[in-house]
Structure 1
Amino acid sequence: MRTPLTELTGVEHPIVQTGMGWVAGPRLVSATANAGALGLLASATMSIQELEAAILEVRGRTDRPFGVNLRADAGDAGERVELLIRHEVKVASFALAPKPELIARLKEHGIVVMPSVGAARHAEKVAAWGADLVMVQGGEGGGHTGSVPTTLLLPSVLDAVDIPVLAGGGFFDGRGLAAALSYGAAGIGMGTRFLLTSDSAVPDAIKHRYLTFGLDGTVVTTKADGMPHRLLRTDFVEGLEHTGRLRQVGATARRTLAFKRMSGMSWPALLADGRRMRKASDRGWAQVLQAANTPMLLKAGLVDGDTEAGMLASGQVVGLLDDLPSCEELIDRVVRDAVERLTGARRALLTGQDSKLS
């Protein structure tokens, strides 16, 4: 199954494991790569030293292409780009639009640039700046998300740009891959489905808890960091929704201090990072101050396994999942099912044409 995604990146299958903070580490990324898909390391929760160690660990586990997801508005984005160049990482993905000079620098060294977008106008902007392809994420997706469903966002972006487009948000099986390819996409991105694999480092107890939620088991809230965030509807998240402003300010301050200690950032660096985030995403200062909540709240749930003090990002597809396959098993069945469905659709179409001719 060859598409512009496989041609650009050198992977075997048109499937991307997205860069989920605290989830997409070396173990999951290398398992994805070894299974023939594109794994993305999530670097936003890593220091630059931790990122280099993670890249080297992936290199030790696989000889296949992989990528790194970067924060375009991070103060050390330029240093991280140089790190990718030095280690010849194949793909650089971005949650926000990277500056034109970053795109140019990466492309000088043959690194594929893949920003994520939530609107056609964003895709047009990064395409004009030289991005190689874009990934859309519909409102069904987990974590930070928009309100437009994939079935509407995907065709609007496909119509707006000439570069390849990947579809994210609501994908978990071969039917979704076949549908995305039929729309004209170059492949799909999956987050929650990869989180819920045996290769994911998320604690098993947390994975099994994910599997208990139905299609109504997620909620989009702005109470975590001021931006729309799709999470599992746990007691903790329900509590966030009803937390008063005064208590919220206190909790935000505590978590900001914890994030500062974890990241090793100085106060001037943390404030400078906040100013860049505010400028890049048009957030108010209250939202920027809340943004430090996200890494700590996600770490509590996804790493420490404490759902009483942490949150669990999830796409709506969680309600359709009931197992924890390996990445190899997952990718094999997704591709096999997609091929069968596309072949069956072609056969049905040809049969219909033959019956009309007769």
Structure 2
Amino acid sequence: MTEEQNLYEVALTKLPGIGAQLTRLLVSYCGSPKAVFHAPPGKLLKIPGFGSITVKNIQENAKAALREAEVIVKKAAEQNVQLLFYTSPHYPDRLKQIADAPVLLYFRGNGNLNQRRIISIVGTRQISSYGQAVTERIIEELTPYNVLIVSGLAYGVDVVAHRAALQAGLPTIGVMANGPDNIYPAVHRKYAERMLTQGGILTENSFGTKPDAPRFPARNRIIAGMSDCTLVIEAALKSGTLITADIAHSYDKEVMAVPGNITSPVSKGTNYLIKSLKAAAYTSIQDLVELLNWDLEDEQLAKKQKLIAYTSEDFTEEELKILQLLQQSKEELMDNLSWKTQIPVSQLASLLLGLEFRGVIRQLPGKKFVLVR
């Protein structure tokens, strides 16, 4: 990605009054961020919803936006911050599908934001010993599945999840409500620095942005939007954690909650989510695996990998037809193999015998054939 491309992408986000949806509309009609800044007024006026006031606003503020973008692009290069516009292949695909997703993200680290499996773990800042034990246990259970753990780097459940992920060797991403040049809270800097080599730090806010209160709900939508499932460990009834769960629910994302002690204030939120059917109960890793169909995914992947092994130069075209059919149907009668592969029985018998000698298939009673490996 060129510096010039970054420059125009950042500049688009600095045009006053042009939010995420209008930005996408501009890029869609003009073809690129750079083209937006060079488009004549007549072309911009043809865009649905763009009137003369909006077009005048773009033209009057274009130079200032580009100057501001120059400073940001320079800082990003100096501080090893990746500028991820929504068209970037490194931008989180899951988040891209959300209507109110930010068009630009600031990312420090080496994590894959499009990892095959991503789970967000959120919860109260006032974590109990039970909540800490459960969080650590969940991370341990997730380890064999090579999951990316997303949280908010806050006190309580967030930092426990990040710390446990680091210890387990899982990549973990901290989504912040401030700029990429500062860690908040500062006490978690040591974990954030480790995350730069085992995940990373992500934010939609530019350099120098303070973690003001309104930015936290906005931060929560990123946490909910970039994962497959939001897992709530502990939460009070009125809390930012429940806001995150509601956001995930509104995105048609899966939500799970850990049942808790009915006398504990930090379990009232999770128990409420389960009771109101806004979240499925998490009692073991199997609950999550079944909810997200990870077991079926793994089975299909294993079949695909096995099939790839059969598409090598070791087999003829006719042999591959047989192997691929047996891959799909488990076992087949010889006559069925013949008409499904369109291989004459006389030729098929010789091919089956050859594959059987090579130990690839075996014959069952009744002239049925199955794969051996």
TM-score with structure 2 setting the length: 0.29
Higher relative contact order (CA 8 A, sep 6+): 1
In our comparison, the structure showing a higher alpha carbon Rg is 2
